[in-house]
Amino acid sequence: MAGDRREQEPETTAITAGRDASGALSPALWASSTWHTNDLDGTHRGAKAVHESGFYSRYANPTVEAFERTIAELEGAESALAFGSGMGAIASTVFALCSSGDHIVAQRNMYAGTLGFLDGACKRMGIEVTYVDGRNAAEFAAAVRPGKTMLVMAETPTNPHLDVVDLDALGAIKGPFTFVDSTLATPLGQQPLRHGVNIVMHSATKGIAGHNDATLGVIAAEKELVNTIWAYSVLHGATASPFDALNGLRGVRTLGARLRQQSETAQQVAEWLSAHPAVKRVNYPGLTSHPQHELAKRQMRWFGSVFSIELCGGIAEARALTQRLSLVRCAVTLGGPDTLISHSATSTHLSVSPEVKAATGISESLLRVSVGLEAAPDIIADFAQALK
Ligand SMILES: *Cc1c(COP(=O)(O)O)cnc(C)c1O
């Protein structure tokens, strides 16, 4: 009896989602940019269709659609839309929903690219942004201006501080669309739409694709909202490459096993570093020392592959540590198989002003670590010799 069936675990859905009637377990790579028809009625039908393959690849592509169906199913959404990058997803969504004179409420500690976009392009287009501290969820609702605020934007956990935003509180906001960048959690770590949030977004470049071989973004939401964003996105043009969508879908199939392992290893390495005298603090939602550990436990199934550390000292100590590490490499992505370390102040947040850096806690001794799939004792041994 269907009614008696228990709900399938997300790890299982990651394996079964997005299959089509062809029987192929991996989708075909449709490189074609266009489809031909017998007469102008055929191309007319294609031009009128909304988010449907068979016309022109900027409008829709079967390989990209297979990836979109998979993400929609994982997020519990009616529909999903892929983009050429996470920033493509953010820029297209904001410009699809906001016009000159509109207002956005955004979390102050968001991804540096998102902040750069809100402070640069949005300001230039006359879209006003009010920043709030996402750790106090009441600030989002308090900053909403009825009739003027179109979008409330949050990121949880945040990159690079691992702050956690209360998804129930965000989902309860009515009026503007609520948007969550869920990149660090991945669709298996948390599902913001189930908390009432309107739009969930991922840089699938990170944990979803998971092998440092795709640049890809995606949003998931109700079909009508996705179609509205799609109508603008075909003009914005941040279209997902079919090859990257294929790698994104391949990544989803192993995401459960990777996320479980990476979360376990991240927990071990974070705990080890917490006890080291050269480390001032470790930010990881899985640590009981994290101020929002209880909230993270309530809304996250896994705490993820990323943590950040604040070293005792400054840039000299950060430089010395990165120079001495040998297994752990310096690079600015996350969620892949290799353990990577990055110095936010001189890389991802280079263009952020000193005032904003100070206000958002991007200090000279802050390092972000993305834990990979190496054995935990090897990662810990590398940190041990480098911190000596
Ligand atoms: C990387 C990242 C982005 C941007 O994604 P790209 O695929 O690099 O464009 C957005 N948000 C978060 C949290 C990220 O880590």
Catalytic residue among 59, 111, 131, 284: 111
* Of residues 214, 198, 166, 242, the one with CA closest to residue 79: 198
Distance 219 CA to ligand 1 centre (A): 12
Task: Give the mutation target among 183, 244, 247, 369 for probing the ligand 1 site: most ligand atoms within 8 A of CB.
Answer: 183
What is the DSSP secondary-structure string of 38-95? SSHHHHHHHHH-SS-SSSBTTT--HHHHHHHHHHHHHHT-SEEEEESSHHHHHHHHHH
pLDDT of residue 97: 98
pLDDT of residue 360: 85
Per cent of the chain over pLDDT 90 is 94
Q: Which two tokens stand for residue 331?
A: 């690079």
356 pLDDT exceeds 90? no
Q: Which two tokens stand for residue 96?
A: 């699809």
At 387, the pLDDT band (50, 70, 90 cuts) reads very high
Distance 93 CA to ligand 1 centre (A): 14
Catalytic residue among 19, 58, 145, 194: 58
Distance 212 CA to ligand 1 centre (A): 13
pTM above the 0.85 mark? yes
Which helix (H) or strand (E) is 217 found in, with range?
Answer: strand 217-221
Q: At what angle do helices 242-274 and 62-75 cross, to 10 degrees?
A: 40
Question: 124 catalytic, yes or no?
Answer: no
3 pLDDT exceeds 70? no
pLDDT of residue 101: 97
Average pLDDT, the chain: 96
302 pLDDT exceeds 60? yes
CA distance 215 to 209: 8
Average pLDDT over residues 170-176: 97
CA distance 192 to 201: 10
User: Which residue, by CA, sits nearest to atom 2 of ligand 1?
Assistant: 203
CA distance 251 to 217: 13
- Candidate from 22-31, 40-49, 231-240, 356-365 with smallest mean pLDDT: 356-365
One-letter amino acid of 129: V
pLDDT of residue 1: 42
Catalytic residue among 69, 206, 258, 357: 206
Q: Which two tokens stand for residue 260?
A: 């479980």
Catalytic residue among 102, 166, 181, 244: 181
Token pair 């983009």 is found at: 83
CA distance 334 to 211: 10
Question: Strands 279-283, 217-221: parallel, antiparallel or unpaired by DSSP?
Answer: unpaired
Give the count of beta carbons closer than 10 Å to the beta carbon of residue 128. 17
Average pLDDT over residues 120-133: 97
* Of residues 333, 339, 326, the one with CA closest to residue 376: 339
Which helix (H) or strand (E) is 97 found in, with range?
Answer: helix 86-97
One-letter amino acid of 167: L
Task: Give the mutation target among 87, 155, 347, 360 for probing the ligand 1 site: most ligand atoms within 8 A of CB.
Answer: 87
CA distance 204 to 217: 5
At 359, the pLDDT band (50, 70, 90 cuts) reads confident
Distance 306 CA to ligand 1 centre (A): 13
88 pLDDT exceeds 90? yes
Question: Strands 366-370, 340-343: parallel, antiparallel or unpaired by DSSP?
Answer: antiparallel
Question: 206 catalytic, yes or no?
Answer: yes
Distance 229 CA to ligand 1 centre (A): 19
CA distance 35 to 161: 46
* C-alpha R_g of the chain: 21
Terminal CA-CA length for the chain: 61
pLDDT of residue 351: 83
Average pLDDT over residues 89-94: 98
4 pLDDT exceeds 70? no
Average pLDDT over residues 272-295: 98
Q: Which atom of ligand 1 is nearest to the CA of 217?
A: 7
